[in-house]
Structure 1
Amino acid sequence: MRQDNLWSSWDLPLELGQFPPCLCGPNPRRPQTPPSPNPPDAAGLGRPDPGVTRILRLLTWVLCLSGGFIDTAFSQRSTSLQWHLPIDPEARMVADACDSTGVLVPSIQPMTGWNRPPQLQPSEDAFSGLQVLGEAKQVTGEFSAQSTAVGLGAEGSWNRRGHWHVSATRWRLPLGFPLAHEVGRHGAMNGLGQASLLSPSIASVDRLEGAASWAVSPSVSLRVGQESHHWGLGGRSLFLDRHMAPALGARLWLDAGIVQYTHMLLRTKHLEGDTLQRGWMAAQWAEVSLGGGWSGALFGTVKWSADHDVAFQGRVEPHYLIPFGAFRPREYILGSTDNALVGAQLACQTRLRRGQWFKGYGQLLLDEFKASELFGGESWWANKWGVLLGVSSTSNSGKFAWLAEAAAVRPWTYTHKTQPNSYSHLHQPLGHPAGGNFVEGRIWARMTLLDDWTLRLALLRRAQGRSEGSDEGLLGFAAGEMPWRPYTERNEDYGQVWLQGARTDVFRLELDLAYPVGARYDLPGMEAFVRAWVRLEEQESPGAWQDPWNASRIELGIRQSRVMDERNW
């Protein structure tokens, strides 16, 4: 194993800095009474009033004045070296640092604190001070309302081995249909976690996220906390996607420079009305450098119920805690009905002649399949698999980056007999946020203008087959797009074709322009922004359990929280 990527370099000065993303955690409150299935009255959100000016001004003064009495040594931009999108400047910093020391660029986020090249290691302060987190904006479009998020964050390190961070944020979000219906019925907020309704169109989310890690050796690290995770090099992932709600868990990380291994245990929650069910998930990842910029990785995971497994009622299955062994053979030996998935990733990262970084990658996910049925041409329901392909590049100056990606997932992928066994958490997929039964493509771009302005563009086009019926729980035809719905709802074993059900086409375009305004107050992460997005949905045939949702908005405000990709709130 490499011994020069960690402790031999601890005496070097810290140059880059480092605070995990402002992503937070669940609120234990029960979901309230579901709102009407009809879209909420825009009038309920209220017309714009001078209150928004006071809100924006108040948060501005709080963020500015905090620079005078709150230590902000670790203040960050919207992203960090531990958590970022492929087109963010931090992604290039990580690639440069790993390339200079001859180690793999980790595909696992959040990245481990100390088991990294010295340029990427955290500070050595046990407490780096408090950071004010938040967002205040005026929203106009199909409705007009104010949206706020206020919170605090902190981090620290000790003995050049340990690192901790925590962030807590309270969100007050105006919602359109169907997000308000989602919160009211399932107590979950898309991309955030548990939530509750303050009114038919206003949601409250208390989000807490934090973790502590300890480097056992230069190549081994342990991490415990409540976080979101992303396993893969793309904007989206079929394995674990950054859009998942934070989950409580523990992770083992081994880094031998050209070989990296991760073993993780997560506890999941599944809300249905007033009922809370729990599940467990064990996942592992092994990645190796193949030379010439190429790398290959194998993925495996198993999901089981904490409440309905007769043999292991309410406790962890110990066989799944042992690292360096495939899960599916263990599941077979145990004779269990757990939900096991396997996958692989192949990637190439290289620097082109002009100095720009280029990255190509692909993922293959296999939930369940038989080779004879796969090529039989009869569309067997259990041929559950997905594929993702993408390319991205960052210019030599780092001022321009782009990503192009395509993904397709078969019906019934990620599903199982019960919610705790399904590949989901808080009524949201753990893998690709679209679930199953879809084909999509996306383009992301980032450009730095006039040295200070940052322009981001996101384009998404998705075709998906939706289940038919009057409600999610009253389906006349189940299309297999929702991971948390049981696969026993299928109408037959064969004829389960791609995009079956009510064909839905979604087009989404987003522009985000930001300007840093906090440097003079020692808050470099604070920025003023204007964000505009439009979402158009068309159903080729009627009958889907959920009506099409068309929305367009313009948002203006200030923020000290990361820009979450493709969010509709």
Structure 2
Amino acid sequence: MKKKYILLFTLSVLGWHLSFAQNPGEQYRLNDYKNSGDSSSFHSSLRDFIKRPQVTLPQDDSARKRSWMHRKIFKEHLLEYNHEDYTFYGDFLPDFQVGRSNKDITTWLNTRGFEVGGTLGKNFSFRSSFYENQGKFPEYLNAYTRANKVIPGQGQYKDYNGDAFDFNYATALLSYDANKFLNFQLGYDRNFIGDGYRSMLLSDNSFSYPFLKIVATVGKIQYTTMWAQFIDMRYPKASYDNGFRKKWGIFNYLDWNVSKKISVGVFSSIIWQDSDSTGKRGFDMSYINPIIFTRPVEYSVGSPDNAIMGLNAKYAISKNSTLYGQFVLDEFKLKEFTSGNGWWANKFGGQLGFRSNDIFKVKNLNILTEVNAARPYTYSQRTTLNNYGHYNQPLAHPYGANFVEWVNLADYQYKRWYLRGQVTYSQYGLDTAGVNFGKDINKSYETRADDYHNKIGQGLKTNLFYVQGTVGFLLNPKNNLRLEMSAATRRESNNQWKNNETFFSIGLRSTFRRFNYDL
């Protein structure tokens, strides 16, 4: 009976019209977030990037009898030292893929990466990674990359052989537990707040950035403050010597585990530009206090900074099933909202999702269904110097604004084999004839189409249907080294054009990176 459920469920998720496609970056694994009920000290909405997720496999005593080569390929880190006072690991992280698109394109990726990490004593941990890449993408990813001048989530590139890309990037994190209440992190990486596949508050969609984070956990309450510096690639450089223009951000998140079933989080952020027409501004000391409410401070100093507020909530229906959601508020006026005239500056969005693990009582069979939406012009500002973006990509949802999305995920793991499927349907409004209808957060809201009558999907109403499936065999759970074959189809259409693409890939992959290629 269990095998029957598995077969029927997998077929329904992968879809009857599944075509072959290239794997869309590292996969979001539902199995990594199994805990539905939060204990007093566990807070699922703030993703823990200190400890890397690892696939759990049955242990056997025969591992110690294996050869060194066998252990390094299938069981252990390439370098691994465990001492009473310190630990250290190091891995070579390959990502070699080759595939084919129906656009008569041979796709490929050649990544050589490494990661090192470890602990010093009981309170200090560290991690650092570096990746050197060359690759050729499907047509839609190629178009996105050249239009935005960045590889999704991986920064700038150089042309390689005319039709491919050469790029590299690095991450790092230092973490120190001052005591059982306080944790300090200094990093160059991405962050994520939420319980779902996407985040409308702060996601790992964009490129890495430097940050300082303080996490305080007292009983059922966890309070996080993060200061970060971002890059604006759109605004003209102040000078060649200074490089791209900078902007700063402060993020506060208070998460309260009301009970084992209910948790509620309150979010706020301020983005401000590093310099303006009067000269250098730099880091604003008004935002140095980690426990102050930043919105009144932003208003009191008369600044044009970008303030965003939000809520995150979760309810554990059962041991294995969870309802979750988010609400983000950029700007809002009650009078304009109740009038129902679609005022442009009523800028908000939200998320509603359901996640379940071990469904049908089948171990490691997991599902997620989630709806995300944002009104036009949400996250945008007068200039990109203080919009909610970094390195030409949104800091929240990869679509930006003016969209609604329904995403469905399922995965299943049996010993070292795993299956994953994704079906996503989205609708959004694109700009036409140079008119800003509110999807691109990198465009000034002062170029908006109209003050009133704004609604989700305005502009060139476009539908996106995306189906993807993956089958893989895990070689080493320590670094996620695996053999993988992936297939997908992407269909984007409106009343002016259609863009359909199917593609597939096979490869040897590793690491726990995640990139949003389902654009």
Fold-level similarity (TM above 0.5): yes
Match of 1:514 in 2: 472
Alignment partner for residue 443 of structure 1, among 392, 395, 408?
Answer: 408
How far does residue 146 in structure 1 lie from its aligned partner after superposition?
2.6
Match of 1:468 in 2: 432
Contact 1:87 1:401 (C-alpha < 8 Å) held by counterparts: yes
Structure 1 stretches of at least 4 aligned residues deviating more than 6 Å after TM superposition: 122-125
- Is 2:171 aligned against 1:209? yes
Contact 2:205 2:516 (C-alpha < 8 Å) held by counterparts: no
Aligned residue runs from structure 1 range 142-541, under 5 A: 142=103, 143-184=105-146, 186-272=148-234, 275=237, 276-308=244-276, 310=278, 313-349=280-316, 351-352=318-319, 357-395=320-358, 398-449=363-414, 451-469=415-433, 475=434, 477-518=435-476, 525-540=480-495
Structure 2: runs of 5 or more not aligned: 1-24, 53-80, 238-243
Contact 2:153 2:516 (C-alpha < 8 Å) held by counterparts: no
Letter matched to residue 288 of structure 1: W
Aligned residue runs from structure 1 range 102-141, under 5 A: 102-112=40-50, 126-141=86-101
How far does residue 349 in structure 1 lie from its aligned partner after superposition?
2.6
Letter matched to residue 405 of structure 2: E
TM-score, normalised relative to structure 2: 0.82
| Identity level (%) | 22
Letter matched to residue 293 of structure 2: A
Structure 1 pair 436/273, CA: closer, same or farther in 2 (3 Å)?
A: closer
Aligned residues: 456
Letter matched to residue 295 of structure 2: R
Contact 2:389 2:441 (C-alpha < 8 Å) held by counterparts: yes
In structure 1, distance between residues paired with 2:219 and 2:268: 21
How far does residue 195 in structure 1 lie from its aligned partner after superposition?
2.2
Structure 1: runs of 5 or more not aligned: 1-77, 115-121, 470-474
The higher-RCO structure (CA 8 Å, 6+ apart) is 2
Match of 1:14 in 2: none
Contact 2:33 2:44 (C-alpha < 8 Å) held by counterparts: no
Structure 1 pair 306/524, CA: closer, same or farther in 2 (3 Å)?
A: closer
Letter matched to residue 193 of structure 2: W
After superposition, give the CA deviation of every residue in 1:237-273 in whole Å (9 maximum; x if it has no partner). 1011122211111111011241001000111112139
In structure 1, distance between residues paired with 2:155 and 2:189: 11
Structure 1 pair 158/480, CA: closer, same or farther in 2 (3 Å)?
A: same
Q: CA RMSD of the aligned region, Å?
A: 2.5
How far does residue 313 in structure 1 lie from its aligned partner after superposition?
2.2
Contact 2:43 2:257 (C-alpha < 8 Å) held by counterparts: no
Match of 1:17 in 2: none
The answer to which of 138-147 and 381-390 deviates more is 138-147
Structure 1 pair 399/331, CA: closer, same or farther in 2 (3 Å)?
A: same
Contact 1:361 1:390 (C-alpha < 8 Å) held by counterparts: yes
Letter matched to residue 207 of structure 2: A
Contact 1:191 1:567 (C-alpha < 8 Å) held by counterparts: no
Structure 1 pair 348/376, CA: closer, same or farther in 2 (3 Å)?
A: same
Contact 1:464 1:505 (C-alpha < 8 Å) held by counterparts: yes
In structure 1, distance between residues paired with 2:427 and 2:374: 11
Alignment partner for residue 508 of structure 2, among 542, 552, 558?
Answer: 558
Secondary structure at the counterpart of residue 300 of structure 2: helix
Letter matched to residue 106 of structure 1: S
How far does residue 111 in structure 1 lie from its aligned partner after superposition?
4.2
TM-score, normalised relative to structure 1: 0.75
After superposition, give the CA deviation of every residue in 1:110-131 in whole Å (9 maximum; x if it has no partner). 34569xxxxxxx9776452320
Structure 1 pair 555/402, CA: closer, same or farther in 2 (3 Å)?
A: same
In structure 1, distance between residues paired with 2:42 and 2:89: 32
Letter matched to residue 177 of structure 2: A
How far does residue 206 in structure 1 lie from its aligned partner after superposition?
0.3
Contact 2:377 2:402 (C-alpha < 8 Å) held by counterparts: yes
Letter matched to residue 441 of structure 2: P
